[in-house]
């Protein structure tokens, strides 16, 4: 079964080096490529850093494509940066945009976002949005609670939104937004951290959390809008595959592990896999 990692981070930073080691990995392209091949991951969608500065050609290895991250200055005054964003969205390697509410104090449904959303819709590329807990105590959860996506999806119905991390731990609210707004999909990244020594024991210990997630996804009963993602290098790849298989019914594995990401992001990773062999 081919797998697409629909949500990861890739940057030469000391912080990523540390968390990669804690997850049993190394934060570099050769290690990630080897690990992807070991576990049948044909490619990944890197959630890019903030812009500006621009990403130069070759910034990501060929088995990764990216969503362009937008910084606070760009969001507050998008007009001067629209040509820059448009140039990225025109690249086949750029699969969409990434917003970081919570880390950046803004509501994604605010009117100043309109020019950015209009551009994304015109290019027919998704807008991925951080939802749920932040990695640091400096973030503000009111900006990244999954319910904020409801107003954005309603005000901007031509935009294809991706709810990153399924709004964890607010799965009930996340699923309500998904059920109401069919222009919203979600990735399942960011739920694990580090290396899990014993997945069976972990699932028992986190039984309430896991059952809540399973239960609300079963209530939604639409696995066509859910995507596997690891938030690498935060979590171990093998662990995340095992965890996702424990949460998602087996008949939906092909869709959740690869088909949905290929359709939503139009990754083209089948070609990438052939080129690598």
pTM here? 0.93
Q: What is the mean pLDDT of the chain?
A: 93
Please state whether the peptide bond connecting residue 53 to the residue before it is cis, i.e. omega within 30 degrees of 0: yes
Confidence of residue 80 (pLDDT cuts 50, 70, 90): very high
Average pLDDT over residues 119-141: 95
Q: What percent of the chain has pLDDT over 70?
A: 94
CA–CA gap between residue 80 and residue 24 (Å, rounded): 42
Q: What confidence score (pLDDT) does residue 186 get? A: 98
**Does residue 248 surpass a pLDDT of 90?**
yes
Q: What confidence score (pLDDT) does residue 274 get? A: 42
In the sheet that holds 127-130, the strands lie side by side as 3-8, 41-51, 64-70, 94-99, 127-130, 161-164, 184-187, 226-227
CA–CA gap between residue 151 and residue 147 (Å, rounded): 8
Q: What confidence score (pLDDT) does residue 48 get? A: 84
CA–CA gap between residue 86 and residue 127 (Å, rounded): 13
Q: Tens digit of pLDDT for each residue in 25-41?
A: 999 999 999 999 999 99
**What angle (nearest 5°) sits at the alpha carbon of residue 238, between those of residues 226 and 275?**
75
**What angle (nearest 5°) sits at the alpha carbon of residue 222, between those of residues 220 and 228?**
105
Q: Which two tokens stand for residue 109?
A: 């449904």
The distance in angstroms from the start CA to the end CA of the chain is 16
Q: Which of 10-24, 118-132, 226-240 has the lowest mean pLDDT?
A: 10-24
**Does residue 1 surpass a pLDDT of 80?**
yes
Average pLDDT over residues 65-76: 93
Q: Is 138 exposed, middle or buried (0-12, 13-18, 19+ CB in 10 A)?
A: exposed
Whether residue 229 contacts residue 5, with contact meaning beta carbons closer than 8 Å, is answered with yes
Which domains, from first to last, does the chain contain?
A: 3-276 (3.20.20.140)
Q: Tens digit of pLDDT for each residue in 203-229?
A: 999 999 999 999 999 999 999 999 999
Q: Which of 42-56, 183-197, 223-237 has the lowest mean pLDDT?
A: 42-56
Confidence of residue 49 (pLDDT cuts 50, 70, 90): low
Nearest to 234 by CA among 17, 10, 19: 19
**Does residue 107 surpass a pLDDT of 50?**
yes
171 half-sphere exposure, CB direction, 13 A CA radius: 19
CA dihedral sign, ordered 226, 70, 65, 194: negative
Average pLDDT over residues 167-180: 98
**Does residue 125 surpass a pLDDT of 90?**
yes
Query: Can you name the residues that pair with 191 across neighbouring β-strands?
Result: none
What is the phi/psi pair of residue 73, to 5°?
Answer: -60, -40
Give CA torsion, residues 220, 224, 226, 229, to 10 deg.
160
What residue has token string 């570099």? Answer: 28
Report which of residues 275 and 205 the model is more confident about.
205
Average pLDDT over residues 122-131: 98
**Does residue 196 surpass a pLDDT of 90?**
yes
- CA distances (Å), 34 to each of 19, 40, 100, in order? 18, 10, 29
Taking each continuous run of H as one helix and of E as one strand, the counts in the chain are: 13, 8
Nearest to 174 by CA among 207, 208, 144: 144
Q: Which two tokens stand for residue 224?
A: 């066509």
Q: What confidence score (pLDDT) does residue 251 get? A: 98
CA–CA gap between residue 150 and residue 168 (Å, rounded): 16
**Does residue 82 surpass a pLDDT of 50?**
yes
Q: What confidence score (pLDDT) does residue 168 get? A: 96
């Amino acid at each position: 079964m081919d797998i697409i990692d629909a949500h990861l981070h890739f940057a030469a930073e000391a912080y990523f080096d540390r968390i990669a080691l804690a997850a049993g990995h190394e934060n570099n392209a050769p290690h990630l490529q080897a690990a992807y091949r070991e576990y049948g991951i044909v490619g990944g969608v890197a959630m890019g850093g903030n812009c500006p500065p621009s990403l130069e050609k070759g910034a990501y290895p060929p088995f990764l494509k990216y969503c362009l991250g937008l910084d606070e200055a760009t969001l507050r005054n998008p007009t001067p940066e629209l040509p820059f964003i448009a140039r990225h969205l025109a690249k086949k390697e750029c699969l969409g945009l990434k917003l970081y509410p919570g880390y950046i104090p803004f509501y994604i449904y605010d009117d100043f976002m309109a020019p950015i959303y209009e551009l994304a819709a015109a290019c027919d590329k998704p807008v991925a949005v951080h939802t749920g807990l932040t990695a640091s105590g400096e973030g503000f959860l009111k900006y990244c609670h999954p319910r904020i996506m409801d107003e954005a999806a309603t005000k901007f119905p031509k935009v294809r939104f991706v709810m990153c991390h399924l709004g964890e731990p607010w799965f009930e609210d996340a699923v309500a937004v998904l059920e109401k707004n069919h222009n919203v999909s979600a990735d399942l990244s960011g739920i694990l951290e580090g290396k899990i020594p014993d997945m069976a024991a972990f699932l028992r210990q986190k039984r309430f959390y896991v059952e809540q997630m399973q239960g609300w996804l079963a209530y939604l009963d639409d696995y066509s809008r859910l995507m596997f993602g690891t938030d690498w290098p935060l979590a171990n790849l093998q662990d995340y595959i095992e965890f996702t298989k424990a949460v998602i019914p087996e008949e939906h594995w092909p869709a959740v592990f690869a088909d949905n990401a290929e359709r939503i992001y139009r990754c083209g990773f089948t070609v990438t896999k052939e080129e690598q062999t």
